[in-house]
Structure 1
Amino acid sequence: CNCNEKGVVTNECNENGQCNCKPNYVGQACDQCAPGFYKYPECLHCKCDTRGTLGGSNACDSTTGQCKCKPFVTGRKCDQCVDGTFALQDHNPFGCQR
């Protein structure tokens, strides 16, 4: 096995070489953060505010943790309205109202 010790439960793999990954790790060697997590090897939870993300996604940039915000939304977690807008709402395709 070529498992990454940071991301595995045990340093064992199956017959295909897939290591036994911790919940927030993925990849054959458990050497990447799972979707919804960032900053390998810590693999921190993105904590995106789904009211402000495109498609209600909880995915973020794997390095910076920046969530994918709707047009009138800002902040790493997409939890703030841009200047000149207000009322962050999940059903608003722009996120906030002008």
Structure 2
Amino acid sequence: MELPIRVRDLSSSDPARNLGHVGWEIAVDRPTPDGLALEVEQCACPPGYIGTSCEDCAPGYERSGQGPYLGTCVPIQQRQPQCTGPGVSSPYPGHDGRCTCKTYAHGPNCDQCPPNTFYMSAGNPQGCIPCFCSGVTQQCSSSSFRRQL
């Protein structure tokens, strides 16, 4: 299969050139009759890094956000959960230090129902339930009625 590719040489005044008969080769980690792929680097990664070019963090490591490429790989620090409200989507704060709330939850610890919702529950994937009120109003709260079984 031939695929025409248009290439522009930025160092030339010629506006475009055509390149044809291009091959696509891959390197695999198994014996093949085609020989070694010596043009592919295979790095000896330092602790914390894995991958042919040390492009990924090893298990137990995470990106720091600082340093070269995508950030230095550092050991994962065990963190104590800081977000404990029933409406949190994660027990750990985001990069901004704030808790991430479910869709219908708010407050610094995701423990309040926003307007037009009621009944905060950790078991509800949305946090609170949107008001229905037969479509007449959106203002509601949890009732004070008691269950009778």
Q: Please, what TM-score do these two structures have when normalized by structure 2?
A: 0.32
| Larger relative strand fraction | 1
Question: Highest CA radius of gyration, 1 or 2?
Answer: 2
Q: If the length of structure 1 is used for normalisation, what is the TM-score?
A: 0.46
